[in-house]
Structure 1
Amino acid sequence: MNERTWLITGVGSGFGREMTEQLLRRGDRVAGTIRRTDALDGLGAEHGDRLWLAQLDLTDAESIQRVVEHAFADLGRIDVVVNNAGYGLFGAAEELTDEEVVHQLDTNLLGSIRVVRAALPHLRAQGGGRLVQISSYGGQAINPGAGVYHASKWGIEGFMESTAKDVAPFGIGVTIVQPGSARTGFRHGGARLATPMKAYDNTPAALPRGIRNPALPTVGDLTAMVAAMIDSVDREPAPRRIVLGSDAYAYVHQALTDRLAEVEAGRGLAFSTDATSGD
């Protein structure tokens, strides 16, 4: 296996941290972005110049451009760009402030788009590479009380799927990863809750208020899920989507089945609105 160089956003915890550790152990190089660069001091001491770190705020467009440019300039070729950084904002639509909505979309959706746009000129110039977008089963299925979070995930999946067709002629593959639950710290550090309104007490929208409950089941194995993400880069052509975890599979399968049934139920109406011949 040839040594690869990876650019990964959000390497301080969760999938990003585990991916960084696995890649460094096998001899690859990692350019990681993080909120606090000292959070990975131990890895830096162990792996030296195979770990390149930069502080990055995904809501800062100029910072994203600058960090990506520096990573390619310092490391030369980067084979894989992984959009991992993000968080979940939970609450009914009217429980959220405008600032919370903007920050969620700025981070999960626009931040990921900006990373891709900053990296693409370099990937084209070097003759190819791979883009990996960490999404969620929530990019296809929904839960109540998570509308803006789902908007960010459905939005980035649409962007990545369309971009995959744009960049295929340049040898750039795109994979969307849809993981289920895992011990990533998402439910604690990665989840933000809106200020609750009494009107939504005892309604489905109140479900996410218990997201930090330690009794909630965790299905996925973090190590195995990350290994599957890494292994996907060896597959040609790039898999468009990989679903990880039996819970994610169940949610996505049911959502797509229900959606197709709704489309089929409306077939007659759809055809009835066609223009008649000669109109």
Structure 2
Amino acid sequence: MDDFSDRTAVVTGSAGGIGLAIASALVDAGATVVLADLQGAAAERAAAELSSRGPGRAIGVRCDVTSESDIAAVTTAATDNGGLDFWVNNAGFTRDKTMRNMSLDDFRAVIDVHLVGGWLGTRAAAEIMCEQRRGAIVNISSIAAKVGNPGQTNYAAAKAGLIGLTKAAAKELGRYDVRVNAVQPGLIGTAMIEALKPEVLQAKLQDIPLERVGTPSEVADTVLFLLSERAAYLTGAVIQISGGRHM
């Protein structure tokens, strides 16, 4: 396991799901982690639980990732507790509808949280990381960015935008030794997947060469690799975590 005992990280959308798995793995590696989530109370509870087991520690902060002032407050929470070495843009949600039934508000809401929120987080992290000439940013995209899904024109567009953001930011920030990478999870065992009807899940599993659903901790393992010095020569990369689905 990597030793992140002298590192501080921000993970957005980390009160549950993949974000919480990433925060948990960072705490297990000794890092100080700011759990930034729109559900502030849930973030505080999760942070308390993670801190109680150590060896790292966690701080829960309410954050609307589309708000510049909230992002600034999260950045301050990190720097006040050691600095800012890692930033993971994970916050997101779905609002699935066909284009015929999707309102402009539905489209913009998903774009704003995933893509605008990712850009605001990347910009805030870069300001500090470029000054200290080190740091790593990981954007959580989706396999939907690669293949699209019916009823997810907003989500697929937002997640594809994160890939473009990742590559452009990697080119801007590389000269400062700041790396920016992305991951594209496929079918991962979160509450959304667990709510699928058994026959729907089985149909999806038939498209996966490894014949199973992935786990949030498997996504977290890949994210920690990208944050670590083991990935020191990786930037602008996009790693698909899908069990071979849509390879």
Deviation at 1:2, TM superposition (A): 4.8
Deviation at 1:48, TM superposition (A): 8.9
How many residue pairs align between the two structures?
227
Aligned equivalent of 2:209? none
- Larger CA deviation: 105-114 vs 22-31: 22-31
CA distance in 2 between partners of 1:213 and 1:148 (Å): 23
1:13 to 1, 11, 16: 16
Aligned equivalent of 1:229? 223
1:53 aligns with 2:49: no
| Within-5 A mapping of 1:1-279 | 1-3=3-5, 4-34=7-37, 35-37=39-41, 38-40=44-46, 41-47=48-54, 50-72=57-79, 74-187=80-193, 212-215=196-199, 216=201, 217=205, 219-233=213-227, 234-239=230-235, 240-246=237-243, 249-251=244-246, 253=247
Where structure 2 has 5 or more consecutive residues not aligned to the other structure, the ranges are: 206-211
Q: 1:70 to 1:27 in 2, by over 3 A?
A: closer
CA distance in 1 between partners of 2:22 and 2:96 (Å): 26
CA deviation map 1:90-129 (0-9, x unaligned): 1111211222222111111101111111111100111110
CA RMSD of aligned residues (A): 2.1
Where structure 1 has 5 or more consecutive residues not aligned to the other structure, the ranges are: 189-210, 254-279
Q: Taking structure 2 as the reference length, what is the TM-score of the superposition?
A: 0.84
Are the counterparts in 2 of residues 87 and 186 from structure 1 also a CA contact under 8 Å?
Answer: no
CA distance in 2 between partners of 1:112 and 1:225 (Å): 18
Larger C-alpha radius of gyration, 1 or 2? 1
CA deviation map 1:178-226 (0-9, x unaligned): 11111122347xxxxxxxxxxxxxxxxxxxxxx7324414521332232
CA deviation map 1:23-67 (0-9, x unaligned): 212322211112123431322444498212211112323212232
CA distance in 2 between partners of 1:185 and 1:64 (Å): 26
CA distance in 1 between partners of 2:142 and 2:10 (Å): 20
Kindly provide the amino acid, as one letter, of the partner of residue 233 in structure 2: P
CA deviation map 1:69-104 (0-9, x unaligned): 3322x1232211100111122111121122222211
Structure 1 ranges of 4+ moved more than 6 A: none
CA distance in 2 between partners of 1:19 and 1:26 (Å): 11
Secondary structure at the counterpart of residue 92 of structure 2:
coil
Secondary structure at the counterpart of residue 250 of structure 1:
coil
Q: Taking structure 1 as the reference length, what is the TM-score of the superposition?
A: 0.75
CA distance in 1 between partners of 2:145 and 2:233 (Å): 22
Are the counterparts in 1 of residues 63 and 70 from structure 2 also a CA contact under 8 Å?
Answer: yes
Q: 1:61 to 1:90 in 2, by over 3 A?
A: same
Kindly provide the amino acid, as one letter, of the partner of residue 219 in structure 1: V
Secondary structure at the counterpart of residue 242 of structure 1:
strand
Secondary structure at the counterpart of residue 93 of structure 1:
coil
Identity %: 25
